[in-house]
Amino acid sequence: MNQNINNIAVLTSGGDAPGMNACIRAVVRTGIFNGANMFGVKQGYQGLIDDNIIPMDARSVSNIIHLGGTILKTARCKPFMTEEGMQTAYNNLKARNIDGLVVIGGDGTFTGAKIFSEKFGVKVMGVPGTIDNDLFGSDFTLGYDTAMNTVIEAIDKIRDTADAHDRLFFIEVMGRDSGCIALRSGIASGAEAVLLPEKQTSIDELVNQLEIGALTKKSSSIVIVAEGHKAGGAYDIAKKVKERFNHYDTKVTILGHLQRGGSPSSADRILGSRLGFAAVNELFKGTTAAMVGLRGNDVKVTSLDEALTEHSFKLEDDLLEMTKVLSI
């Protein structure tokens, strides 16, 4: 262990994700177990600038593992991306002799951490926390499993009313640049079609697929739309389809921020605990400017530079093929 690390702070930044509290708990208790003083930063990088930094002990993180959101709150902070903002943040860390920082978030969070580490020599470890599951270096990110379960539960309920009324539902899920949620929820819920940012699906193709379903006497249809699809959001696509295919009564549901909330699944509680534990131990080893992630069933370390520059998550070919084969 690197005994130069005596004081560690943890923050959550960007969008919240279920499992963040489990990770905070693991970070705080792992640090304390190894003799470090622990601090929590409220509202992400904004808290570093505002000096909103609080000491934390083992009881500070009691009874939070089951909670969604983040007890440290989160915020997006443009001032942190300026030289002046980072200098203020660094001064506040140095005033408390904080020599290690764990940041939980997505690519925006890691971009800030990378620059901060390079400019000021701050020892930083990242934990991938985003429901989009779109960070290189980890098979799964914090919050993704819970978000998937939330989406599937909602679709199952919508399917009941769609079937009762011979309806066609367009359901929009989160995923501006990544179709992970849309693809897997489509498979798990038995959707008739899935529209993804990574794969161009024309209105012609979609209408043709829905017409085949109608001819084979499907009583309802569900189309999952990732919010970043190039043809537009669910409302735009539903309007275009309705102009050409009016077999069903057409409805649109936007799941929105419902996908971010809720008690984390067991998978996210365990993932958050594993990655928080690993992040602190890596700091003690002297690792910095890196991210801990899950590959296979092992925790691996990826540099922040690689995590950001290799920012592509390839969707599984078999799942893409299944969206057509299983929807007939």
**What pTM did the predictor assign?**
0.94
CA distance to 258, 264, 268, 294, 306, per residue, from 298 (Å): 30, 21, 15, 6, 18
Percent of the chain with pLDDT strictly greater than 70: 98
Q: What is the pLDDT of residues 109-122, one digit of tens each?
A: 999 999 999 999 99
Whether the predicted pLDDT of 139 surpasses 70:
yes
Whether the predicted pLDDT of 312 surpasses 70:
no
Are 174 and 225 in contact by the 8 Å Cβ rule? The answer is no
The tokens for 308 are: 């950001």
Q: What is the pLDDT of residue 164?
A: 87
Average pLDDT over residues 75-85: 92
Q: What is the pLDDT of residue 76?
A: 86
Average pLDDT over all residues of the chain: 93
Q: What is the pLDDT of residue 214?
A: 84
Whether the predicted pLDDT of 219 surpasses 80:
no
Q: What is the pLDDT of residues 290-307, one digit of tens each?
A: 999 999 999 999 999 999
Query: Is 132 a known active-site residue?
Result: yes
- The residue annotated as part of the active site, out of 16, 99, 107, 132, is 132
| Percent helix, strand and coil across the chain, each to the nearest 5 | 45, 20, 35
Whether the predicted pLDDT of 74 surpasses 70:
yes
Whether the predicted pLDDT of 3 surpasses 60:
no
The beta-carbon contacts of 275-279 under 8 Å, at least 24 apart in sequence, are 275/23, 275/26, 275/127, 275/128, 275/142, 275/299, 276/22, 276/23, 276/24, 276/25, 276/26, 276/27, 276/30, 276/102, 276/104, 276/127, 277/26, 277/27, 277/30, 279/27, 279/102, 279/125, 279/126, 279/127
Q: How far apart are CA 37 and CA 119, in angstroms?
A: 24
Residue 276's pLDDT band (cuts 50, 70, 90)? very high
Average pLDDT over residues 300-323: 88
Whether the predicted pLDDT of 25 surpasses 80:
yes
Q: Please tell me the least confidently modeled range out of 220-224, 277-281, 308-312.
A: 308-312
